[in-house]
């Protein structure tokens, strides 16, 4: 593997344990102002120190992230459809590799829509993006999007989509957790990370999902809503990170979450000497 490509990938999937915690905040590219991501800067800033990498669009990167902050960026470069449009699978590459280089990104990300009306275009786009990315040593994350057709979320479908992404040259694949997830991972020759999907009922559910995915061989998470839609996003990302990088159990991670959440609430206000008690 080319040195630059290997170096960039190592910023995302940490070489010491071959795992990574990617914070996903790209939702606005088709969902608009998603709940609790209405003001991206406010959502992202407190979470940045805890994320191994940040996945987002160039618009949010430029407007809402301090350029001096050294977080590796995974830039979403595909789009073209919205949640209220006719067909979510009708995406194209919308951001040039030249712009991605100017933004100093560590990886490019795009969605593929296997089995959807625009399957062909999305797969050809993936092949082309890999060709172009590799010219500059930039890896590509393929997102196996399922859009509105969530019923397809089983090991057969996701295994097929992940494998096709890897065959087209994706260096990393993002998919959803499902039963028999180990089959999806086994049949995919590049690292697989999981999205969290819509916010689950409790943080415990999201920690279980993370744990089960890691146990089944996932290389980490690219998680959004289950972190920043939590009432306690920083304790949540720390708990997810403990599972990914420290092999914490669900119980340990949940205890950590509760402890950090409690600590946040019991922090005493600072009373300055010129303030009356």
User: Any idea which residues carry the catalytic annotation?
Assistant: 174
Classify residue 270 by burial, with Cβ atoms within 10 Å: 0-12, 13-18, 19+: exposed
**Residue 86 or residue 272: which is nearer to ligand 5RP going by CB?**
86
Sole binder of ligand 5RP in the list 192, 203, 222, 243 (CB under 6 A): 222
268: left (phi over 0), alpha (psi -120 to 50) or beta: beta
Contact mark string toward ligand 5RP, 190..209, x via CB under 6 A = -----xxx------------
Q: Cβ–Cβ contacts within 10 Å for residue 26, how many?
A: 27
- Buried/exposed code over 192-212 (b: 16+ C-beta within 10 A; e: otherwise): bbbbbbebbeebbebbbbbbb
The β-bridge partners of 194 are 175, 221
Sole binder of ligand 5RP in the list 9, 12, 23, 24 (CB under 6 A): 24
Residue 268 C-beta: closest distance to ligand 5RP, Å: 34
Contact mark string toward ligand 5RP, 26..65, x via CB under 6 A = xx---------------------------x----------
Structure tokens at 78: 């595909």
Q: Round the CA-based radius of gyration of the chain to a whole number and report it.
A: 19
**Binding to ligand 5RP, residues 113-132 (CB under 6 A):** none
Residue 194 C-beta: closest distance to ligand 5RP, Å: 8
The 8-class DSSP code of residue 34 comes to: -
Which residues in this chain contact ligand 5RP in the complex, by CB under 6 A?
24, 26-27, 55, 111, 143, 145, 195-197, 222-226
């Amino acid at each position: 593997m080319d040195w630059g490509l290997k170096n960039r990938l190592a910023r995302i999937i940490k070489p010491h344990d071959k795992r990574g915690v990617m914070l996903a905040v790209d939702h606005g590219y088709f969902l608009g102002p998603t709940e609790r991501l209405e003001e991206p800067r406010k959502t992202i800033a407190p979470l940045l120190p805890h994320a191994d990498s940040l996945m987002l669009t160039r618009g949010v990167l430029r407007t809402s992230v301090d350029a001096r902050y050294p977080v590796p960026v995974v830039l979403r470069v595909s789009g073209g459809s919205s949640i209220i449009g006719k067909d979510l699978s009708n995406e194209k590459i919308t951001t040039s590799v030249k712009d991605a280089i100017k933004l100093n990104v560590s990886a490019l990300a795009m969605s593929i829509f296997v089995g959807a009306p625009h399957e062909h275009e999305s797969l050809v786009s993936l092949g082309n993006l890999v060709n172009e990315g590799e010219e500059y040593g930039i890896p590509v994350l393929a997102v196996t999007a399922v859009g509105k057709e969530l019923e397809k979320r089983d090991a057969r479908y996701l295994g097929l989509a992940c494998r096709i992404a890897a065959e087209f040259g994706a260096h990393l694949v993002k998919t959803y957790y499902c039963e028999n997830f180990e089959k999806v991972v086994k049949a995919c020759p590049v690292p697989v990370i999981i999205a969290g999907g819509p916010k689950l009922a409790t943080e415990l559910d999201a920690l279980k999902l993370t744990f089960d995915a890691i146990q089944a061989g996932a290389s980490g998470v690219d998680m959004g809503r289950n972190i920043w839609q939590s009432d306690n996003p920083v304790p949540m990302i720390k708990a997810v990170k403990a599972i990914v990088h420290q092999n914490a159990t669900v119980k340990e991670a949940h205890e950590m979450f509760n402890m950090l959440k409690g600590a946040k609430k019991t922090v005493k206000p600072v009373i300055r000497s010129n303030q009356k008690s």
